[in-house]
């Protein structure tokens, strides 16, 4: 017996148990939630791709901005230290 055949038989057996012990309403509710989660997952993946594409396009610019903000912050700190020393 192949592993796939065993898996299929076990899956069918499990579905049989589920159908016998879980009310149909709960199965329908669970299936609806699964469908909604799959749609949400597709949406999130699409947004993830858009975000990654945006980052790829703008990462160099963002690095430059961050560098200049960092340098500007150093200048402000040194100005404050100079003013404190003058007092």
CA separation for the pair 78, 27 (Å, rounded) = 66
CA separation for the pair 19, 54 (Å, rounded) = 47
CA separation for the pair 23, 6 (Å, rounded) = 27
- Structural domain span for residue 77: 3-86
Using one digit for the tens of pLDDT, what is the confidence trace for 42-85? 999 999 999 888 888 877 777 666 666 666 665 566 666 666 66
CA separation for the pair 49, 2 (Å, rounded) = 39
**Number of structural domains in the chain:** 1
pLDDT at site 87? 57
Confidence of residue 33 (pLDDT cuts 50, 70, 90): very high
Using one digit for the tens of pLDDT, what is the confidence trace for 6-20? 788 888 877 777 767
CA separation for the pair 41, 48 (Å, rounded) = 10
CA separation for the pair 51, 47 (Å, rounded) = 6
């Amino acid at each position: 017996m192949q592993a796939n055949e065993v898996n299929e038989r076990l899956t069918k057996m499990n579905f049989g148990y589920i159908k016998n012990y879980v009310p149909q309403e709960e199965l329908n509710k669970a299936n609806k939630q699964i469908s909604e989660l799959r749609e949400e997952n597709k949406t999130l993946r699409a947004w993830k791709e858009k975000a990654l594409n945006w980052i790829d396009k703008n990462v160099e610019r963002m690095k430059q901005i961050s560098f200049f903000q960092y340098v500007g912050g150093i200048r402000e700190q040194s100005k404050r230290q100079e003013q404190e020393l003058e007092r």
